[in-house]
Amino acid sequence: MRALLLLWSLAPLLWQLYSSLVTPEALVDPQAVAAGGFWTLSNYRQLLEADPPFWRHLFNSTVVGAVSTALTLALAIPCAYGLQQQRGSLRFATVLALLAAAIFPTVLLFLPLLQLARSLGLGNQLLALSLPYIALNLPLAVLLLRAAFADLPADLEDAARLEGLHQTARLRHVLLPLLAPALGSTAILVFLFSWNEYPVALTWISRLELLTLPPAIARIAGSSLFTVPYGAFAAATVLGSLPLLLAVLVFQRSIVNGLTQGAVKG
Amino acid sequence: MSTMPSATTGQPFPASGPAQAGGEELRLLGIGRRVAERPLLQELTLTVAPGECLALLGPSGCGKTTTLRLLAGLDPVSQGRILLGNDDITEQPPGSRRVAMVFQSYALYPHLSVLGNLELGLRLRGVPAREREQRIGATLELLQLSELRQRRPAQLSGGQRQRVALARALLRQPRLVLLDEPMSNLDAQLREELRPELRRLLCGNGPPVLYVTHDQQEAIGMADRLAILQNGRLQQVGTARELYERPVNRFVACFLGRPAINLLPQEGGRQLALRPEHLRPSQGEGLAARLLRREWWGAQQLCWLETSRGPLRMLLPSGQQLPDSLQVCWERRDELWFGADGERLEGVW
């Protein structure tokens, strides 16, 4: 059963890996290719020798993702903490509003956002992408972190208050260390969103060297109009997934903890 | 499971400021709290002397913990004033009241070691490192926690956690000590062992101590005086003996004492209350009764009787034999009478 599930989830990834490592001919008709012409690194070479080279897009995505994640958390932590301090109907109404914002389909927003970017002169500026990313992620981040705050025993903060710790000190030294798993999982979710985001990145950025991964991958072209460069797509996907895979492997325990937190109460 | 230090040599309030000398009197002047028009505590007026331990006792939801939270400043009072010595602390934020509180859950910081738990408050209040080290060292010594200083709370037993919570509270150099059911998470035997130690550490030498519990034995064992609360109202305050022998109303009479007091309904809605230990069997005179069941309690036996005026519980030495049909009598001076409103009536006979 487990093996079946693993196969179900891993098969597309493995197929990508395989496709990225073989020649186009081998991909189309494996039987017809001679042994020497089967495996190749040319797909990767094509990406890295392109202008601008592929690592440039990796770098762009990393920068935008890191900045968006850091700023989202910086805003979401005080919001969630403040929201948790509220009592009764105000909190409920706020949570509902946040939920509504969190589930609003992003696709409907990219045209208005493009208008905004035009009138504010935000086009073709890499870090300007962080603005919509933060705005789009903030509701979910606040909701997740509020649930995490709600799970902390209230006595802990009361004890810290009695010890004379001010609000920021209580957050910094008592509450946030205990929220590390929730913070980790929220950070991963925000980073993933920013890493995978396509419509806003496509419409806000037109200069090639500023493209983030998803629009950059979409722009990979074959040698002629009629060639679909499957191999290069696959190689780009593999390269684009690696940093995330590594990050998830490092943080996986805290992600699982964080995602199940608040499931029971809050 | 280790216990509190049995030979307490040091004082738990060392090198404290002048405010500490002798401690201060705590006065509650008609404090109350209501939430959404629902009163949690009404017009509580009490005085606790320096060094005195007062137990707040009552069924759950009676306002005990509410009172502690008001005194700590964790919740705002709706009415009344809180005076500590010469200061009105009613409006003071909790951080500047110098109140030590031990929570029922102990509220230890789970991510910090014992040392970290004790140090955090001192460090963030700007106590210099030398003084910190010295005070923490002394407190660890006093509570026999020195060997556990590197442990996390999760690695400690219930009794050890309680001592760490106590140590953290004492490091505050408190003007007032609040204990919210500090023993409810410990097993019965440990509770009994800890009682005298806790008393020796906390009571009698400095700040007033308020001790919340729903366990009357614990309250009687710990406290100099008891205050009994019900539905947010103070019923009676006094020594355990005063409350036991002269309860102001039926609630206090029924709440204190196990096995519970007997209530015999009388004409006019009045009730005659008799402690089980005040009843004895007699020949010829008294209330006719039938023996239903006997419970053996070691030195004593509890006899369940049925009479024409209702069931009775009678406490006798365990050796004593009883016939199935008997008469029960008591001394008139042991009678307690309560009116239809539940208040005690004086001089009925």
Select the residue of A160, A162, A173 nearest B72 (Cβ to Cβ): A162
pLDDT of residue A28: 82
Is there a domain that residue B114 lies in? yes
What is the C-alpha separation between A25 and A47, in angstroms, rounded?
19
pLDDT of residue B41: 93
pLDDT of residue B199: 86
B70 and B136 fall within a common domain: yes
Helix (H, G, I), strand (E, B) or coil at B223: coil
B184 and B266 fall within a common domain: no
A225 contacts: CB under 8 Å, gap ≥ 6: none
For residue A99, the domain's CATH number is 1.10.3720.10
Span A214-223, mean pLDDT? 84
Contact A159 B94 (CB under 8 A): no
d(CA A164, nearest CA chain B) in Å = 4
B154 and B189 fall within a common domain: yes
B150 in contact with chain A, both atoms CB, cutoff 8 A: no
Q: In Å, how far are A19, A26, B196 from A32, measured between CA atoms? A: 16, 8, 91
- A187 burial (CB, 10 Å; 0-12 / 13-18 / 19+) is buried
Tokens for A122, please give them: 């935000």
For B313, the domain range is 262-345
pLDDT band at A221 (very low <50, low <70, confident <90, very high): confident
B190 and B304 fall within a common domain: no
Q: Is the pLDDT of residue A249 over 50?
A: yes
Is there a domain that residue B70 lies in? yes
Closest CA to B4 of B235, B220, B109, B161: B161
Is there a domain that residue A70 lies in? yes
pLDDT of residue B1: 40
Closest CA to A28 of A227, A217, A239: A227
> 10 Å Cβ neighbour count for B137?
13
Contact A166 B95 (CB under 8 A): yes
B140 and B167 fall within a common domain: yes
Q: Is the pLDDT of residue A225 over 80?
A: no
Chain position carrying tokens 């007091």: B261
Is there a domain that residue A135 lies in? yes
Span A102-116, mean pLDDT? 89
Is there a domain that residue B135 lies in? yes
Burial B110-120 (b: 16+ CB within 10 A, else e): ebbbbbbbbbb
CB B122 within 8 A of CB B156: no
Alpha-carbon dihedral sign for residues A172, A177, A182, A187: positive
pLDDT of residue B65: 92
**Domain-ending residue, one of B218, B245, B272:** B245
Closest CA to B14 of B138, B120, B128, B110: B138
Tokens for B50, please give them: 């320096």
What is the C-alpha separation between B79 and B58, in angstroms, rounded?
22
For residue B283, the domain's CATH number is 2.40.50.140
Select the residue of A161, A169, A178 nearest B111 (Cβ to Cβ): A178
B120 in contact with chain A, both atoms CB, cutoff 8 A: yes
**B105 interaction partners in chain A (CB closer than 8 Å):** 153, 155
For A92, the domain range is 57-231+241-260
DSSP chain A: -HHHHHHHHHHHHHHHHHHHTB-HHHHH-GGGS-GGGSB-SHHHHHHHHSSS-HHHHHHHHHHHHHHHHHHHHHHHHHHHHHHHH--THHHHHHHHHHHHHHHS-GGGGHHHHHHHHHHHT-TT-GGGGHHHHHHHHHHHHHHHHHHHHHHS-HHHHHHHHHTT--HHHHIIIIIHHHTHHHHHHHHHHHHHHHHH--HHHHHH--SGGG--HHHHHHT---SSTT---HHHHHHHHHHHHHHHHHHHHHHHHHHHHHHHTTSS--
Is there a domain that residue B273 lies in? yes
CB B243 within 8 A of CB B56: no
What is the C-alpha separation between A134 and A65, in angstroms, rounded?
10
CB B175 within 8 A of CB B98: yes
ipTM value for the complex: 0.83
DSSP A115-134: HHHHHHT-TT-GGGGHHHHH
Q: Is the pLDDT of residue A226 over 80?
A: no
pLDDT of residue B15: 41
- A67 burial (CB, 10 Å; 0-12 / 13-18 / 19+) is middle
Is there a domain that residue A8 lies in? no
Write the single-letter amino acid at B61.
G
- B231 burial (CB, 10 Å; 0-12 / 13-18 / 19+) is middle
B276 and B157 fall within a common domain: no
CB A200 within 8 A of CB A129: yes
Q: Is the pLDDT of residue A124 over 50?
A: yes
For residue B167, the domain's CATH number is 3.40.50.300
Q: How many domains does chain B have?
A: 2
B229 and B269 fall within a common domain: no
Helix (H, G, I), strand (E, B) or coil at B258: coil
Q: In Å, how far are A95, B215, B304 from B260, measured between CA atoms? A: 50, 14, 12
A163 in contact with chain B, both atoms CB, cutoff 8 A: yes
pLDDT band at A222 (very low <50, low <70, confident <90, very high): confident
Burial A15-35 (b: 16+ CB within 10 A, else e): ebeebbbbebebbeeeeebee
Considering only residues A107 and B281, tell me which one the structure prediction assigns the higher pLDDT: B281
Is there a domain that residue A141 lies in? yes
B221 and B272 fall within a common domain: no
Is there a domain that residue B133 lies in? yes
B76 in contact with chain A, both atoms CB, cutoff 8 A: no
B217 and B280 fall within a common domain: no
CB B40 within 8 A of CB B48: no
CB B65 within 8 A of CB B237: no
d(CA B83, nearest CA chain A) in Å = 18
Tokens for B303, please give them: 């006899």
Alpha-carbon dihedral sign for residues B244, B247, B235, B29: negative
Is there a domain that residue A69 lies in? yes
B172 in contact with chain A, both atoms CB, cutoff 8 A: yes
Write the single-letter amino acid at A15.
W
d(CA A154, nearest CA chain B) in Å = 9
Is there a domain that residue A182 lies in? yes
Is there a domain that residue B208 lies in? yes
Select the residue of B96, B103, B124 nearest A169 (Cβ to Cβ): B124
pLDDT band at A106 (very low <50, low <70, confident <90, very high): confident
pLDDT of residue B132: 94
What is the C-alpha separation between A193 and B111, in angstroms, rounded?
31
Is there a domain that residue A11 lies in? no
pLDDT of residue A255: 64
Q: How many domains does chain A have?
A: 1
pLDDT band at A185 (very low <50, low <70, confident <90, very high): confident
Write the single-letter amino acid at A4.
L
Q: What is the pLDDT along chain B (349 residues), one digit of tens a residue?
A: 444 443 434 445 544 433 344 689 999 999 999 998 889 999 999 999 999 999 999 998 899 999 999 999 999 999 999 999 999 999 999 989 999 999 999 999 998 999 999 999 999 999 999 999 999 999 999 888 999 999 999 999 988 999 999 999 989 889 999 999 988 888 888 888 888 888 888 887 789 999 999 888 889 988 999 999 999 999 999 999 999 999 999 999 999 988 999 999 988 889 999 999 999 998 878 889 999 999 998 999 999 999 988 899 999 998 888 889 999 999 989 999 999 999 999 876 5
Is there a domain that residue A21 lies in? no
The alpha-helical segments, DSSP class H, found in chain B are 64-72, 114-124, 129-142, 158-170, 188-202, 216-222, 240-245, 250-255
**A166 interaction partners in chain B (CB closer than 8 Å):** 95
Pick from A155, A161, A162 the residue to mutate for testing the B interface (most B CBs within 10 Å): A162
A173 in contact with chain B, both atoms CB, cutoff 8 A: yes
pLDDT band at A256 (very low <50, low <70, confident <90, very high): low
What is the C-alpha separation between A262 and A146, in angstroms, rounded?
9
**B102 interaction partners in chain A (CB closer than 8 Å):** none
**pTM for the structure as a whole:** 0.81
B210 and B303 fall within a common domain: no
**Domain-ending residue, one of B182, B211, B245:** B245
Span A174-178, mean pLDDT? 92
Q: Is the pLDDT of residue A61 over 90?
A: yes
For chain A, give the percent of residues with pLDDT over 70: 95
Is there a domain that residue B251 lies in? no
Tokens for B98, please give them: 């110098």
Is there a domain that residue B313 lies in? yes
Chain position carrying tokens 């005195």: B52
Contact B100 A161 (CB under 8 A): no
What is the C-alpha separation between A219 and B175, in angstroms, rounded?
71
